[in-house]
Amino acid sequence: MSRGALLLDLDGTLVDTAPDMVACLNRLLADSGHAAVEYARARNQVSNGAAGLLTLGFGMGPDDGRMPELRRRFLDLYATCLADNSRIFEEFDHVFDVVSSNGWRWGVVTNKPQDLARPLLSALGLSPDADCVIGGDTLAQRKPHPAPLLHAAALLGLDPEHCLYVGDAERDIQAGRAAGMRTAAARYGYLEDLSAAERWGADHVVDSPAELAALLRTLVTGTRRAG
């Protein structure tokens, strides 16, 4: 097997979106007369999206009646500042070098809505290069359901076992394993407990994009020998 694909979660795996998402949370809190949340504390909730941030900031559960309206306001605000301070994680150029030089393809599978994910990738100059972008509203199912990952593999014309899925949340690893893909936990992402990544059952754990690039080189070499 010489063909393969790298599939990536977005927030906390490919892009450091915490600066803009936490800023939006604190703007919403200020508008509502609440105190701001410390950045380091809020950062760890970014992979849980708007609901996770709002639950932290407003001290409410997902079933709280205020959630739908607050989530709408958060997303409307966030859409105006998607890439003000968000950046691709450092050293990801090494990852893309390995992908391109070995004929692999790459894409994004995120729970972020498509109308936010695609403009963010475009603003960061990634949209033309991605072979697929699957958002949280592309299908009826979201991660940890494997359907979005299986859909991505189908779009790329690859069997799931020829794909590596990388994410910084347990749901990412659950989805990847259920889809029959090789998985890697991105411990450099938004984890409150770094040791948790060891318990998710991922095939690999990486502490930086540079380690991910090294892992890819190993996988590419291995698949070529086996092919």
Residues that are catalytic = 9, 11
Residue 133 forms beta bridges with which residues?
108
Report d(CA 220, CA 43) in Å as an integer: 33
- Type of residue found at 95: V
Name the packing angle between helices 67-78 and 49-58 (round to 10°). 120
Tokens at 223, concatenated: 């698949």
- Provide the 8-state DSSP code for 35: P
Residue whose entry in the numeric block shows the structure tokens 């779009």: 155
User: 183-195 burial, b for 16+ CB within 10 Å, e for fewer?
Assistant: bbbbbbbbbeeee
